[in-house]
Amino acid sequence: MSQVESGLLNVPYACQYQTFNTMTKPRFRVDFNERVAPDVVLLSREDQKHDASGQLVELSGGLSVEVYDEDNSTAGLPDELFAQGIVEKSSSAKGWARAAQWVCRIDANGIRHRSDVLPTAPRKPA
């Protein structure tokens, strides 16, 4: 069944994502404006953080996670930003970032819009 037939194209990207992901790793909301390096974003001041499903997750170095933030497409539609990465203990010397105990080191794929990686619906021949 295609996305068109299942009605997925009428659902916001964040909800569509739940259909394609089995939630094998924790997803955490972050503010991508709080990066201490191009590939490092602040994650938490505490040793535990609630993930997108509401579960309290114990943070530890090496934990594979997905981080995300709300954003809009150029058409003004919801289209979250996301990245995959690894949790690390923070060593930031920046004054505004010192309070964070944990950061996420973003992998080589970088920060992307969800719509850039969602499968597209098959097109019917014209």
The domain ranges of the chain are 3-116
How distant is the alpha carbon of residue 59 from its chain centre?
A: 16
Question: Looking at per-residue confidence, does 23 or 106 come out higher?
Answer: 106
Which of 31-35, 62-66, 78-82, 117-121 is least confident? 117-121
Side-chain half-sphere CA neighbours of 116 within 13 A: 12
In tens, the pLDDT along 110-120 reads 999 999 987 66
**Of 87 and 119, the one with more pLDDT:** 87
Mean pLDDT of 100-109: 96
For the stretch 50-59, contacts whose Cβ atoms lie closer than 8 Å and that sit 24 or more positions apart, written own/partner, are 51/26, 51/27, 52/26, 52/27, 52/28, 53/23, 53/27, 55/26, 57/26, 57/28, 59/87, 59/101, 59/102
Lowest mean pLDDT among 20-29, 58-67, 110-119: 20-29
